[in-house]
Structure 1
Amino acid sequence: MKHLMLLAFFVLIGSFPVPSDVLAQDGAMWVDDQPYDEEALAALPGQSFVFYDDGEALFGDDGAYSYTYSAANGGGTAWGSYRVAQDGRVCVTFVNGMSRCDQYVTNRDRTVVITSDGQRFPVRLSHLP
């Protein structure tokens, strides 16, 4: 009973991330998530997103994409190309034939990448020189 009361309290004050089926088909988006709009998606070329494990995704001006793994994860780079899908997801096709589509959102001053299977990865945004 205490757990239910605490959950209700956090939901009411809005400080607990609550999935919303209204915002996402798979329930991965949270109430405060704001999907990247057309302007943010158009600004992807020339941007770099650094994940908290120090992996880095780079979006090239020409549709090129690379993901460099952190040294702790073995280093190395996966190369590919990206496009923005009609639904706003960012889709990457790697040179090895694998592909993925992720949703980029902001949530309270933080950018988060949501994978197709609902995993959430906060990232730090930087611009390429």
Structure 2
Amino acid sequence: MRPALLLFTCLMPLPLAAQDESPGADGWAVAAGDRRFGASDLADRLAGQVVEFMDGSKSHYRDGNRYAYTYEDGGPEFTGAYAVGADGTVCVTFDNDARRCDLYVLNADGVLTLITTDGYRFRTR
């Protein structure tokens, strides 16, 4: 397995079960009731914050658009730089040149949820 692919596989928290989703015109599998963010709203929401997923892993959106992902507190960090796209996506270029893009939405219950390009959904705490 290529190192970049292995990194992507390792950096994904466990997904939730599918929830009546269908790819939109832009390819993202949003569910009924999902509310998308505008670029500036999402950038403001993430800047300087730590997003914790249900499995305890965390995405750190640091100053200067620096990014770190950790599986657990005190564990290794996978670092890079992040950018918020005009469509409300977040793309991370890791320091090893691996890259991924995800979409954050507020689900129907108002919970911040990350959707991967493969359609997996990860609720946050």
Same fold (TM over 0.5): yes
- Equivalent pair of 1:23/1:31 in contact (CA under 8 Å): no
- 1:58 & 1:83 partners in 2: Cα distance? 13
Which one has a bigger Cα radius of gyration? 1
TM-score by length of 2: 0.75
- Whole-angstrom distance in 2 between the partners of 1:80 and 1:48: 15
Runs of 4+ with >6 A deviation: none
Match of 2:47 among 45, 48, 52: 45
Deviation of 1:24 (Å): 5.3
- Structure 1, unpaired ranges of 5+: 1-16, 125-129
Percent of aligned pairs with the same amino acid = 39
1:109 equivalent to 2:110? Answer yes
TM-score normalised by the chain length of structure 1: 0.72
Counterpart amino acid of residue 122 in structure 2: F
Gaps of at least 5 residues in structure 2 are 1-18
What residue in structure 1 maps to residue 76 of structure 2? 76
RMSD: 2.2
| Cα deviation 1:27-72 (Å, max 9, x = unaligned) | x21011111223431212111100111111010121000001126x
For these two proteins, the number of residue pairs brought into alignment is 106
Given residue 43 of structure 2, which amino acid in structure 1 is its aligned partner? A
Q: Which has the higher contact order (CA 8 A, sep 6+)?
A: 2
